[in-house]
Amino acid sequence: MVRQSPRPAPRTTGDLPLTVGAELGVPTIHRTVVDFGNLDHAATTPALVAVTDAVEAVQRRYGSVHRGAGYTSRLTTDWFEQARGEVGQFVGARADDEVVFTRNTTDALRLLAHTLPPRTNVLVFESAHHAALLPWTVARTTRIPVPTSAEESVTLLDDALAALDPAEPALVVITGACNVTGDIWPVADLAAVARRYGARTVLDAAQLAPHRRVDISELDVDWVAFSGHKTYAPYGAGALVGRTDWLDASEPYLPAGGATHTVSHQHTRWQEGPARHEGGTPNAVGAIALASACATISAHRDAIEAHEAELLDALRAGLTEIPGVTLHHVLGPAADGVGVATFTVDGYAPSLVSQVLADEYGLAVRDGRFCAHLLCETLFDGDGTAVRASVGLATTREHIERLVHGVRRLVENGPTSTYEHTDTGWVAQDDPRDLSEPRPW
């Protein structure tokens, strides 16, 4: 008998790439099971089916990276270096740019902070995510107040740069898209101001690159940092892409094997290029997964943007019609944005709103300060928190309709259960569900 190989899972539906877990059903406190409504893409995106296939393929031919003579080592090394090129192409890397693989955006920006020349002044808006706000030396950092428009952000940066010593190096940290509200920042305009003062720029593209095309050359920034886990790849891989000189002039980020060229009793000579800051055995599987996600997104970019724009329009329009619901923005309601709607509901703590949506409607949203405390203190009254719903490839129109319905029902009738606030958050009384599952190992 001839055994037939199982058909591979489809990778697309229409023009959109598929994500893993689309078939997941979740229980509600009403003893029903509903399709899991993923509106938390700004925190973490599910992996693409194509990425899962790539990970399975590389693990079947798994070998040590670099310097190994065996077949699997040579193959894995080749794929790892090809992944570097794919990731660079995804963000429009220039011919002389380098791609350093990191753990995530936070790690990438910390790596850049490690390589700054002495006396470098850093300028960053207070609206930045903590990953972009905190890795710099406090005494050399200027925190620019939260602007209220794109035009004001450019003016504020110009004023801040004008106050610095032009003889000292400077780095401007630019957010691509706000992780709290989704507003897209005027990256090219901010980079142009920085260039007039001889300053360099790094773009935090964690929230932008998965949803809009990023091109280093067109934006004229010096570095781009982004994460795999927000780009439909698994946790554990990110990248810093850009200029080589500051990176090659600094001590290695991780002084270890792989970063060394030669070691003697008297002297250590370090590698140049990406290897200088990729000490230890690299996360080759993660790098290849990230490259697979980048290639897939690039191939479907127009369809992805259209899908997200349609969902975002429906989400914001639906929430706007509900009395007592306020949508929030940094750069104003007319600003372009990625698929995020951040809102508050009069009379209800954001943490309770998100728990009601999860328990009663099977929806995943996020509440809190979103690792951007300074911005949230400026934007939100009360305890400085809000609810964030963020769309992506795992979001459907029905999820949007369910969320709008759930918020409206909450406003009109209150929760369907009594909730108690505990040390671990809000808990529905008489919840009939057993939410435990067997460990996956």
The number of residues making up the chain comes to 441
Which residues are the active-site residues? 371
Contacts of 283 (CB under 8 A, 6+ apart): 101, 103, 236, 237
Question: Domain map of the chain by residue range?
Answer: 12-48+301-428, 51-299
Distances, alpha carbon 248 to alpha carbons 67, 111, 278, in Å: 22, 12, 12
Does 5 have pLDDT greater than 90? no
**pLDDT tens per residue, range 61-94:** 989 998 888 999 999 999 999 999 999 999 999 9
d(CA 180, CA 187): 17
Question: What is the second-level CATH architecture of the domain 51-299?
Answer: 3-Layer(aba) Sandwich (3.40)
CATH code of the domain occupying 12-48+301-428: 3.90.1150.10
Does 232 have pLDDT greater than 90? yes
Neighbours of 85 (CB within 10 A): 12
Per DSSP, the residues of 126-178 read TTS-HHHHSSS-GGGEEEEPPPSSHHHHHHHHHHHHHTS-TTS-EEEEEESB-
Domains 12-48+301-428 and 51-299 equal at CATH topology level: no
**pLDDT tens per residue, range 117-169:** 999 999 999 999 999 999 999 999 999 999 999 999 999 999 999 999 999 99
H-helix or E-strand spanning residue 107:
helix 105-115
Question: For residue 67, what pLDDT is reported?
Answer: 82
14, 179 contact by CB (below 8 A): no
**pLDDT tens per residue, range 23-63:** 999 999 999 999 999 999 999 999 999 999 999 999 999 89
